[in-house]
Structure 1
């Protein structure tokens, strides 16, 4: 797989470390070009664009700690809740329980969403109208195990977060409330954290 086509690449040690790729230099002073503030919904002018569906239940999607059906605790930590366009979003998922082995889905089972009046909507979508598929890979983790994501908040790196299909961000990222959700825990349990793009 080409390094330039993915932002999420490798798992290392007990917590997967995800490399950032596809970053483009941007002119000094360039900020978010998308809609700002409270918006009705995300709209894309490209008729072939198909926004990614939400594949997890809303309940628990913004909790700091989540429990699997077997009562195994996971935590999602976010480094800084206020971000500027072009800065790095660092997120860490880890298992909090001792003496457990839990199978979780790949690190690509994530959503990057914007809050709108119509609800949470993924900022990403397919470019040809097709439905996205996700890798079947799994990982067994114990205490302290999980994933680490480091994602540059620009359109190309955010789009390059799924290896199975080409995605785009449409419209462009804008100032407003967003969230990062991992939905690969057992029992379709999701865990997420909100963050603000402030300029």
Structure 2
């Protein structure tokens, strides 16, 4: 009888401890998805109503967000009122030189991570596509994001430079000794991509590109 009591007591203690651990992790995750998540909140504030143009380079023509080669890619970021979610209006030219327009939703997750979801797309291959980036740092002129390494391939970094002039400051760069591709986005529209912007769908806040 005494043995059974001890077994029951140990079992009860185990489940209680297990439940506390799970709830603690869930609580931590929930807290980090709120506006209290400082890096996410600051990033959304810094990029709100901002057009960012990807700098096309021969070494990194494959865009980690899209998952295939693109050119003349630009994004318009709009932050929701709760400052914990955002929308991205994405335009780019594919390998067939066709202009593609997508609308993505962006939400914050645990550990300063953003999840991009392709919500309004024409191509079947992008339906419900989700891509995650971790916010390493952000301020009013420079934000560094990292896309974790996939099963095949390597990781990728985003340099989002919102300082003036379009030339990225020397200090605005990924961590030292990184091994991933670096994709640079600035406020300057590439000369060869100066075409009339695609009409932005109703409901997406419009701000004329520079």
| TM-score bucket of the superposed structures, by smaller chain | under 0.3
TM-score of the superposed pair, with normalisation by structure 2: 0.23
Larger helix proportion of the pair = 2
Q: Which has the larger radius of gyration?
A: 2
